[in-house]
Structure 1
Amino acid sequence: MQPLAWPDCRNARDLGGLPATAGQLRTGRLIRSDNLDQLAPAGLTAVHAAGISRFVDLRSAWECETFRSPYADDPRLMNVPLWDPGDPDVSELGLFEQYRILLDDFAERVAAAVVAIADAPPGCVVVSCHAGKDRTGVVVALTLDLIGVPRELVAADYGASGAAGETIVRLLDHVRAQYGGTAAYLLNSGASSEQLGGLVGRLTG
């Protein structure tokens, strides 16, 4: 994991270097970030140099309109909202319970976000939300777990965004107990085996 100098984003890092079952996650394949509307001119230059093939924006339509991404009109941007304004308000619940509800009740949305990474054109994929912690944290944790990154390193990556790593480990334990693991969860939620295999290949091959 390497923090990126993307002024004025505060939570951008390349996940390259993490060990995985199929081999080390390659640098320049997967980046997680907070809201890209914060990018200053120097940040835009840095993003341009990163060779991005897809921006996976997990924010709601309201957030996208209110905090407009500089890539809003760029065909590389794909908006995959994980929460909808019409969903029940879970903001008063603890983080684990919020994440559990997201995974259990809106599994197709979560799988669509992971598939958006898998199906991206060759190049680097950026996954972002508002703070780059919760929605991005869930999608990235599932992606890392899928390719076989050790749990303690998934927790360390999640914790680097300012939350307790035990929360994401507890969530992955829930996925394993309830669905038989991340791969089974994603396959049951709309992803194909070809897409999941392709995701492993694009990140480690």
Structure 2
Amino acid sequence: MTLTDDGLELSAPVNLRDMGGIPIAGGTLRDGLVIRADDLALADEASASRLVDGGLAAVIDLRSAGEFANTGRGPLGRMRVTYHHLPFMDAVDSSAQVPGSDLLDQSTFAAMYIRMYEAAAARIVTSLAVIATAPGATAFHCAAGQDRTGVLAASLLLALGAEHDAIVDDYARTGANSSAIMARLAPVMGPMMAALGIELDEAARASMRKEFSPEPMKGLLHHLSASYRDPLEPLRRAGLNDAIVAMLRERALG
């Protein structure tokens, strides 16, 4: 067992996957370009080394400043990868401030995803630029690899011309990992949730009572289709240009 200086156990990620194979405009997203994950700051040395040996060149950390302060960068911080801290929310309790979202009910997260996509558009654009230009694979992560990671994954796939069904299918794959995610994050997220008056055991029981729902991602995609002529419009307003999109598509199909 490997521990951080604060006594937190480092372990292999439980919601990590290469996004290769997803259908996009012109073909399928190639392996080895982009990896989505749960908290890589808690990755053990062996898992981190495997990622770097496999071609990892950049890490995008979507966690809040408070989460970063708890665990830092982990073993990857000592390895030859570039690091980009691009928080999509100010704090983990931000979802509680979005009408219609319930921290204990994943199926209600659509409003949170919409706010993230629109309010964090500049950071999404920066993330896409990192993926487009990194000299190897890019991994992006939040805590669970579900919500903030899911919004960035959807943004990337929209830029690559993926159909909505493919985006939802990728998002829904996290559902099979929910129990393992909760167990892995309990030592870190427990105190943060307790500060909001939520016992993590209660959150775990609530999640077990419900099936993982695709509705939040469907809600985000429906909103973008209904509100904009181009679903990338909020990102284009924040600086996404044709050159970045072209680089992404060239690398994704390469």
TM range, smaller chain? 0.7 to 0.9
Q: What runs of 5+ residues in structure 1 fail to find an aligned partner?
A: 1-6
Cα contact 1:175–1:185 (8 A) shared by 2:
no
Q: Distance in 2 between matches of 1:95 and 1:9?
A: 23
2:99 matches 1:50: no
Superposed counterparts of 1:1-205, under 5 Å: 8-69=12-73, 70-72=75-77, 76-85=82-91, 89-91=94-96, 93=101, 94-118=108-132, 120-162=133-175, 163-205=212-254
Amino acid corresponding to residue 132 of structure 1 in structure 2: G
Change beyond 3 A, Cα 1:24–1:72: same
| Alpha-carbon separation, structure 1, partners of 2:222 and 2:129 | 22
* Residue identity in the other structure for 2:117: L
Q: Which amino acid aligns with 1:147?
A: L
Alignment size in residue pairs: 197
Cα distance change on mapping 1:88 and 1:108 into 2, 3 Å? farther
Tell me if structure 2 keeps the 8 A contact 1:56–1:77. Answer: yes
Q: Among all aligned residue pairs of Structure 1 and Structure 2, give the percentage whose two residues are the same amino acid.
A: 29
**SS of the residue 2:174 aligns to:** coil
Consecutive unaligned residues of structure 2, counting only runs of 5 or more, are 1-10, 102-107, 176-211
Change (3 A) 1:37 1:186: same
CA positional deviation for 1:43: 0.8
The answer on whether the counterparts of 1:183 and 1:196 sit within 8 Å (CA) in structure 2 is no
Name the CA distance, whole Å, in 2 between partners of 1:145 and 1:32.
16
Report the TM-score, using the length of structure 2 for normalisation: 0.71
Q: Which has the higher helix share?
A: 2
Ranges of 4+ aligned residues in structure 1 off by more than 6 Å: none
Q: What is the CA distance between 1:32 and its match in structure 2?
A: 0.3
